[in-house]
A and B are shown apart, each in its own frame.
Chain A
Amino acid sequence: MATTELCSEEALRFIWGGAIPLQIHLHESEVTTLPPPPPALILGPRIGYLPLLVPLLKPYFSSTLPPGVDTVWFDYKGLPLKWNIPTGVLFDLLCAEPERPWNLTVHFRGHPGETLIPCESEDNVKWSFINALKEAAYVINGNCKNVMNLSQADQFELWQSLMKGNVEAYQRIASRLKLGPIGEDCTLKTGAGQPRQALGEADTAGSSRVGRIPVRLYVRNIIQDLDDFDEATAVDSWDSISYINRPVEIHKHEGHLLTLRTALKALLPEIFDDETMPDNQIFSKEEGCQVTNPSFEDYETPNSLRNVETEEASIISDSVVLSKKPKVKLIRIQGIELDLSIPFFWVVNNLMNPDYFIHICVFTEASPSQVLVR
Chain B
Amino acid sequence: MAAESPTSERKVVVHLRATGDAPILKQAKFKIAGSDKFLKVIEFLRRQLHRDTLFVYVNSAFSPSPDELVIDLYNNFGFDGKLVVNYACSMAWG
Listed in ascending order, the chain A residues whose CB lies under 8 Å from chain B are: 82, 84, 117, 127-128, 131-132, 134-135, 138-139, 143-144, 148, 201-202, 243-247, 293, 295-296, 298-300, 309, 312-318
In the complex, A69 Cα to B66 Cα: how many Å? Answer: 24
B68 within 8 A of A: yes
Given A143-B61, A315-B10, A317-B10, A246:B75 Cβ within 8 A: yes
* A317 and B71 contact, CB distance less than 8 A: yes
Contact flag A148-B67 (CB < 8 Å), given A298-B8, A299-B8, A315-B75: no
Query: A299, B9: Cβ atoms under 8 Å?
Result: yes
CB distance from A334 to the nearest CB of B (A): 21
The interface size bin for chain B is 20 to 34
Bound-state CA distance A245–B81 (Å) is 19
Q: Does B76 contact A (CB under 8 A)?
A: yes
A202 touches B79 (CB 8 A): yes
With contacts A245-B72, A317-B35 taken as known, whether A128 is within 8 angstroms of B61 at the C-beta atoms is no
A71 CB to nearest B CB, Å: 15
CB neighbors of A among B35-69 (8 A): 35, 39, 59, 61-69
| Residues of chain A with a CB closer than 8 A to B68's CB | 245
Question: CA–CA, A127 to B53, complex, Å?
Answer: 14
B77 touches A84 (CB 8 A): no
Decide if B10 touches A243 in the complex (CB within 8 Å).
no
Distance of A368 Cα from B63 Cα, bound (Å): 39
B8 and A295 form a contact (CB under 8 A): yes
Quick check: B75 and A296 within 8 Å, CB to CB?
A: no
Tell me whether A117 and B66 are in contact in the complex, defined as CB-CB below 8 angstroms, given that A296-B8, A298-B8 are known contacts. Answer: yes
The verdict on B12 contacting chain A, using a C-beta distance below 8 Å, is yes
> CB-nearest residue of chain A relative to B73?
A245
Q: How far is the CB of B90 from chain A (nearest CB, A)?
A: 14
Q: Which 9 pairs from chain A and chain B are nearest by CB?
A: A134-B62, A317-B34, A245-B72, A317-B71, A314-B75, A295-B8, A201-B79, A131-B63, A299-B8
* Cα distance, A314 to B69, chains bound together (Å): 14
Bound-state CA distance A312–B74 (Å) is 12
Identity of the chain B residue whose Cβ is nearest the Cβ of A203 in the assembled complex: B79
Q: Contact partner of B76 among A139, A148, A295, A300, CB < 8 A?
A: A139
Contact between A243 and B75 (Cβ–Cβ < 8 Å)?
A: no
Taken together as a complex, chains A and B put the C-alpha atoms of A246 and B69 apart, in Å, by 11
User: In the complex, A243 Cα to B59 Cα: how many Å?
Assistant: 22
- In the complex, chain B residues whose CB is within 8 Å of the CB of A298: 6, 8
- Which one of B61, B76, B79 contacts A246 once the chains associate, using CB atoms below 8 Å? B76
For the complex, give the distance between the alpha carbons of A289 and B17 in Å: 37
Contact among B6, B61, B67, B79 with A117 in the assembled complex (CB-CB below 8 Å): B67
| Interface of chain B residues 1 through 41 with chain A (CB within 8 A) | 6-10, 12, 34-35, 39
Enumerate 6 A-B pairs (CB-CB under 8 Å) in ascending A order: A135-B64, A148-B93, A202-B75, A243-B69, A299-B9, A314-B74
B77 and A138: CB pair below 8 A?
Answer: yes
B8 touches A201 (CB 8 A): no
Q: Which residues of B contact A295 (CB under 8 A)?
A: 7-8
Contacts of B72 in A (CB 8 A): 244-246
Are B6 and A315 in contact, with the CB atoms below 8 A?
Answer: no
Kindly report which residue of chain B lies nearest to residue A295, judged by CB atoms. B8
Most interface-central of A84, A296, A299 (chain B CB within 10 A): A299
Contact of A312 among B6, B59, B62, B75 (CB under 8 A): B75
Please tell me if the beta carbons of A202 and B71 are within 8 angstroms of each other in the complex: no
Q: Which residues of A contact B9 (CB under 8 A)?
A: 299, 317-318
Q: Give the nearest-CB partner of B79 in chain A.
A: A201
B65→A128 contact, CB < 8 A: yes
In the complex, what residues of A have CB within 8 A of residue B81's CB?
313
Distance, CA A246 to CA B45, complexed state (A) = 26
Task: Known contacts A202-B77, A296-B8; decide if A315 and B64 are in contact (CB<8 Å).
Answer: no
